[in-house]
Chains A and B, each alone.
Chain A
Amino acid sequence: MKLKFRALLAGTALVLATGAANAETLRLLTWGSYAPDEVVKMFEAEYPDIKVEVTFSNNEEMIAKLRATGGTGFDLAQPSHDRVYAAQLEYNIYKPLDLSKIDTEKMTPNLLEGVKANTTIEGEVYSVPHQWGTSGVMANMKLAPDVTGWADLCDEKYQGRTSMRLRRTILLGTAFGMGMDPFALYADPAAYQDMLDKVTEKLIACKSVIKTYWSGGDDLSAMMLSGEVVASETWDSTAFKLYGENPDIVFVPPATGALAWIDTFTIPRGGEADDAAYKWINFVLRPEITKLMSASTGAIAAVPNGIDLMPDDKKAAISAAFDQSDIDNLKFFANIPPGIEDMEGLALERIKAAN
């Protein structure tokens, strides 16, 4: 009896040990569509030792998850560039990158430098860019041809026909639309609160115009395609996808500048498969993989010819939306200092609760 048990235990241990030696697991914490099955399969074919496990999330939940576990449970995360600095300072959930293991020469230099500048703490770099895109407004040109910017979402002309997501993007966009520069006010919490109060008032007044707040890409798409909503705050990638189905629906970079975000590669502090993570980073930056990735995400890879590597329909959507002046006018999200999000959160709740 005792002997048998010991044999069983030994057997189990053996299995566990060999299992661990044979296959490394790369636990990816990323955005929906940022790990298409096809790419995962190709990666696993090239590195048979590595098994990829994907968890889909968003900026806020990524940080919350990593904060809850002290940075363990995942081997590679993809927060946006403006969400790394404060989270790292406050919760210490990431670890510095070994840039020598990343093919940084393949990345668009200004994006790489921008992200590095945003995510350097005490001389250590925490993130490199992966894909970028913008947030702005999309409009159905047949039904709402005059939409040019953030302010149009609250135009009574479109009573009951506009939508937005009640998150910080719309606060910032509205602030720009009202002629303010929130990024410049980040350093001054009192001024920022003052700005937020004005934005809150504006968005509360706006509530009677909008149909509803959207909560995800799916319900936004359904409302735009059905024509229930004619103009909405959106990610450009969602707009590009809809352009493929209805060419009347285009992304409109607001006159005050589309808000640009860069999703990064960042390694959690408790990551256990750094080598596999670096392999994944280099793998998805290859041109042929970039093409597949952009087709899935609708976002632009942070490589010099990123737009050329988009699928044809998305390329057409981008050229319908952007000209060079729009690209020059992009407003990249600035690093969020600690405390700002708490102020924004209260503003958002006040807007939601107002009648």
Chain B
Amino acid sequence: MSRDAGRLSLILLFMPFVLWIGLLIILPQLGIGYYSLREKVGFNQFEFGLKNYVDFIGEPVYRNTLLRTAWMSILVTILALIAGFPVAYYIAKIAKERSRAALFLMCLIPLWVSDLVRAYGWIVLLRETGVISTALVKMGIIGQPVEMLYNDITVVMGLVYTVILFMIVPLVSTLQGMDDALLEAGYNLGGSRLTVFRRIIVPYAMPGIVSGCIITFMLTAGSYLTPILLGGKNSSWFTEQIYNQFITRYNWESGSAFGVSLLVFTSFVVWAGLRLTGQSLATTVAKD
């Protein structure tokens, strides 16, 4: 009786999770996968086949945009890591207990407004007649207003700003678990600052680095508003093409194939990244 009750409560406890995974992740993915295999042969006529994928690979516009999106996402991830690590280290190790919460909160503030508002914030700052350009002209540093929007650097900057928190949080939590004595031992045994950083801090933080990088890479590759709004006439982003397939071209079949391709490709990049750096999910992200 009580064992049945225990089992029942266990099932009930896991139900929301199972439903969430099942209904909101697995089921839609299966649906997308199914759609992606439908070939449109005529008006309301479909056949099963790989034509959508063949078309995707055959069209350089799509291939190149996917590669471009991946490269820029990798760049954003690296920049977020470089910029986020000192911040995380400061919060986890140097800041006083009391200011730690405040600092963490400050990192969270950008998330309180929507993507859209954040992008418009950048636009107000960076446009040709925007705050920065006007101020620089007034101060006499530049003679002509400059356009700082609509280029790849702005997109990368905006994306780093958007995703950096997701780099900082896992880093802080791993670094917080690091005993200061490890650093002292590192120095005591003759290590310079660089050695201690390279051989002790970084390897210790590796689980946080790996999960932070995976999260930021996936978020960046899947982001939509920031690259669209800050990017210029030349900055295509793969999610925009998925949107175009679904919405402006009514081509759900090809849009689904794009979606599956994005998922497969980003997963591949993550796998390759893990292989190249000699990490594995089991020893990093899944580590207790």
A64 with B44: CB separation less than 8 A: no
Question: Known: A226-B127, A227-B129. Is A61-B233 also a contact (CB below 8 A)?
Answer: no
Residues in B whose Cβ lies below 8 Å from that of A342: 249-251
Residues in A whose Cβ lies below 8 Å from that of B233: 207, 210-213, 352
Query: Is residue B261 contacting chain A, with contact meaning CB distance below 8 A?
Result: no
Bound-complex Cα distance A87 to B64 (A): 31
Residues in B whose Cβ lies below 8 Å from that of A207: 233-234
Q: What's the interface size class on B, roughly?
A: 20 to 34
Question: Known: A61-B247, A212-B232, A348-B244. Is A228-B61 also a contact (CB below 8 A)?
Answer: no
A154-170 to B contact mask, C-beta < 8 Å, 1/0: 00000010000001100
A63 with B61: CB separation less than 8 A: no
| Chain A: minimal CB distance from B253 (Å) | 11
The closest CB in chain A to the CB of B151 belongs to A212
Query: Is residue B80 contacting chain A, with contact meaning CB distance below 8 A?
Result: no
A228 with B129: CB separation less than 8 A: yes
Query: Is residue A38 contacting chain B, with contact meaning CB distance below 8 A?
Result: no
B108-147 to A contact mask, C-beta < 8 Å, 1/0: 0000000000000001000111000000000000000001
Partner of B43, one of A213, A222, A338: A338
Partner of B128, one of A60, A90, A226: A226
Q: What's the interface size class on A, roughly?
A: 35 or more
A212 with B127: CB separation less than 8 A: no
B127 with A228: CB separation less than 8 A: yes
Bound-complex Cα distance A61 to B250 (A): 10
A341 with B249: CB separation less than 8 A: yes
Query: Is residue A282 contacting chain B, with contact meaning CB distance below 8 A?
Result: no
Query: Is residue A215 contacting chain B, with contact meaning CB distance below 8 A?
Result: yes
| Chain B: minimal CB distance from A303 (Å) | 31
Q: Classify the secondary structure of A's interface with B.
A: helix
A90 with B61: CB separation less than 8 A: no
The closest CB in chain B to the CB of A86 belongs to B250
| Pair count A-B, CB < 8 A | 79
Question: Known: A215-B229, A353-B65. Is A345-B251 also a contact (CB below 8 A)?
Answer: yes
| Chain A: minimal CB distance from B264 (Å) | 20
Bound-complex Cα distance A281 to B193 (A): 74
| Chain B: minimal CB distance from A242 (Å) | 15
Query: Is residue B245 contacting chain A, with contact meaning CB distance below 8 A?
Result: yes
Within 8 A of A (CB), among B59-76: 59, 61-62, 64-65
| Chain B: minimal CB distance from A352 (Å) | 5
B128 with A345: CB separation less than 8 A: no
A352 with B236: CB separation less than 8 A: yes
Question: Known: A215-B229, A228-B128, A353-B61. Is A348-B150 also a contact (CB below 8 A)?
Answer: no
Query: Is residue B228 contacting chain A, with contact meaning CB distance below 8 A?
Result: yes
Query: Is residue A67 contacting chain B, with contact meaning CB distance below 8 A?
Result: yes
B44 with A355: CB separation less than 8 A: no
Query: Is residue A349 contacting chain B, with contact meaning CB distance below 8 A?
Result: yes
Interface centre among A63, A64, A219, A338 (most CB of B within 10 A): A64
| Chain A: minimal CB distance from B274 (Å) | 30
Query: Is residue B241 contacting chain A, with contact meaning CB distance below 8 A?
Result: yes
B248 with A167: CB separation less than 8 A: yes
| Chain B: minimal CB distance from A337 (Å) | 10
Within 8 A of A (CB), among B76-99: none
A345 with B244: CB separation less than 8 A: yes
B129 with A349: CB separation less than 8 A: no
B23-64 to A contact mask, C-beta < 8 Å, 1/0: 000000000000000000001100000000000000101101
Residues in B whose Cβ lies below 8 Å from that of A63: 250
Bound-complex Cα distance A338 to B228 (A): 28
Bound-complex Cα distance A87 to B233 (A): 30
Query: Is residue A286 contacting chain B, with contact meaning CB distance below 8 A?
Result: no
Query: Is residue A350 contacting chain B, with contact meaning CB distance below 8 A?
Result: yes
Bound-complex Cα distance A349 to B228 (A): 13
Residues in B whose Cβ lies below 8 Å from that of A346: 59, 61, 249
Partner of B61, one of A91, A338, A350: A350
Question: Known: A341-B248, A341-B250. Is A353-B236 also a contact (CB below 8 A)?
Answer: yes
Bound-complex Cα distance A246 to B244 (A): 34
Within 8 A of A (CB), among B216-257: 228-229, 232-234, 236, 240-241, 244-252
Query: Is residue B149 contacting chain A, with contact meaning CB distance below 8 A?
Result: yes
| Chain A: minimal CB distance from B34 (Å) | 15
B61 with A348: CB separation less than 8 A: no
Interface centre among B149, B236, B247, B251 (most CB of A within 10 A): B247
Interface centre among A91, A160, A349, A355 (most CB of B within 10 A): A349
Q: Which 7 A-B pairs have the closest CB atoms?
A: A345-B249, A226-B129, A212-B150, A353-B61, A60-B247, A353-B236, A228-B128
A residues sitting closer than 8 Å to B (CB atoms) are: 60-61, 63-64, 67, 87, 89-91, 160, 167-168, 207, 210-213, 215, 219, 222, 226-228, 338, 341-342, 344-346, 348-350, 352-355
B residues sitting closer than 8 Å to A (CB atoms) are: 43-44, 59, 61-62, 64-65, 123, 127-129, 147, 149-150, 228-229, 232-234, 236, 240-241, 244-252
Between A and B, 18 residue pairs with Cβ closer than 8 Å are A61-B247, A64-B246, A89-B43, A90-B43, A211-B150, A212-B150, A212-B232, A213-B233, A215-B228, A228-B127, A228-B128, A228-B129, A342-B250, A345-B245, A345-B248, A349-B236, A349-B244, A353-B61
- New A-B pairs, 19, CB < 8 Å, besides A215-B229, A228-B128, A349-B241: A60-B248, A60-B250, A63-B250, A64-B247, A64-B250, A90-B43, A222-B123, A226-B129, A228-B127, A228-B129, A341-B248, A342-B251, A344-B249, A346-B59, A349-B236, A352-B236, A353-B64, A353-B65, A355-B234
